Amino acid sequence: MAIERQGPLAGVRVLDASRVLAGPFCGQILGDLGAEVLKVERPGSGDETRGWGPPFAGTLSAYFLSCNRNKRGLTLDLAHPEGQRLFDELARRSDVLLENFRADSAERLGLSPPQLLSKHPHLIICSISGFGRTSSLRDAPGYDFAIQALSGLMSITGPVEGPPCKVGVAVTDVLTGLYAAVAVLACLHARHQSGHGYAIDLALLDCAVAAQVNVAQAYLTSGALPPRQGNAHLQIVPYQLFATADSWLVLAVGNDGQWQRFCHAAQRLDLAADERFRTNPLRVRHRSVLVPLLETLLRSRTTAAWEELLRHAEVPHAPVWTYAELFAQPEMAQRLRVTVHDPAGQPVDLIASPFHISGTTTSATAPPALGQHTDQVLTQLLGLDEEQVRKLRQQGVV
């Protein structure tokens, strides 16, 4: 008899009371790994990203689709005493709570981490905010665009002579969601030894700064503000975008051996022999001389011709693809796309989970319609009967 394999987080229940992107993205990661994720939303309106479109697939926005797969959805009014009681019962039966409540609202409703841990000492609570629960700005809204501006990320992004630029996706939310998932997994592991729960305080600003790794560290080390590099690299040359005869190519020479191979493939032995360019520190120092030479050189061939040369020379490089070109690659599309059925039964393509773990099974379910599983959760998990659920609906609790 074959043994049914489950995801590595099978048996873990996550109560996802977060909204928008960072928290829901964390919940999606945990769901991808096999956890049971219950998404709690406000009756009538739900997570505001449900309306962030077009485009829509049926009633679900592409934005909502991107961060809420592998969850069951229920509605619950946490401002109602009975809603608070039901939420408390769900927390008692859960391992993890994800939330991004305003700190003052959470305390008023009895949902702050200290209040919850006093009642549920086993619970792992991950609180996500813009600036952290200990900051004087703890109740200030934390929008990704603002965090990109405040964190220094925009100051190092964009053309050298142009204005600061944001990254093309809400990257500080995504990074915070990833950090949140790592912290939750670490606390789940620690709980096996300690037997008690944990309160995780994650700030978008903290995560955005931490994720700037070598560039932010270079400032702390030197005290010098890093200049914007556009599509180049502050500490490696040549490691940037170049125009070719017909499009664009990223040339990513990461060491001196690759530099020599590039020069030979390009039939520019003069560059290989030039003492000014022999090592990466020298190439960085003489960037203003070398890069114009390379710009002229790269324009001499098409992107396809350069790809052929550099592939044989084992020099890292990449063309710049659109989404259409990316998903047209059969092997990549097989790993990057998954088809599910929405609440109306219609097929919908989603971005696939990046987890490929041998020894487990992974699957994907569509994000839920607003309150899709409310009755199921209340009756099966909390033991309510149909009449009790009907009264809750009449009272506007669910």
Provide the token pair at 78: 């946490």
Helix or strand (DSSP H, E) at 41: strand 36-41
Integer Cα distance of 103 and 111 in angstroms = 9
What's the distance, Cα to Cα, between the start and end of the chain in Å?
Answer: 43
DSSP string, 51-80: GS-S-EETTEEHHHHTT--S-EEEE--TTS
Asked about 173 being catalytic, the answer comes back as yes
Integer Cα distance of 182 and 96 in angstroms = 13
Q: Which value, in Å, is the radius of gyration of the alpha carbons in the chain?
A: 25
Integer Cα distance of 301 and 285 in angstroms = 27
Provide the token pair at 376: 């199921």
Residue of 77, 144, 173, 342 marked active site: 173
Q: Which of 118, 120, 62, 73 is nearest to 96 (CA)?
A: 120
Integer Cα distance of 39 and 371 in angstroms = 9
Helix or strand (DSSP H, E) at 317: strand 317-319
* Residues 6+ positions from 336 with CB-CB distance below 8 Å: 326, 327, 351, 352
DSSP string, 340-368: EE-TTS-EEEEEPPS---TTS-----PPP
Q: What is the DSSP letter of 37?
A: E
Burial degree of 80 (CB within 10 A; 0-12, 13-18, 19+): middle
Vertex 105, ends 99 and 109: CA angle to 5°?
90
DSSP string, 42-55: -TTT--GGGGS-S-
| CA neighbours closer than 13 Å in the CB half-sphere of residue 80 | 16
Helix or strand (DSSP H, E) at 126: strand 124-129
Which residues are catalytically annotated?
173
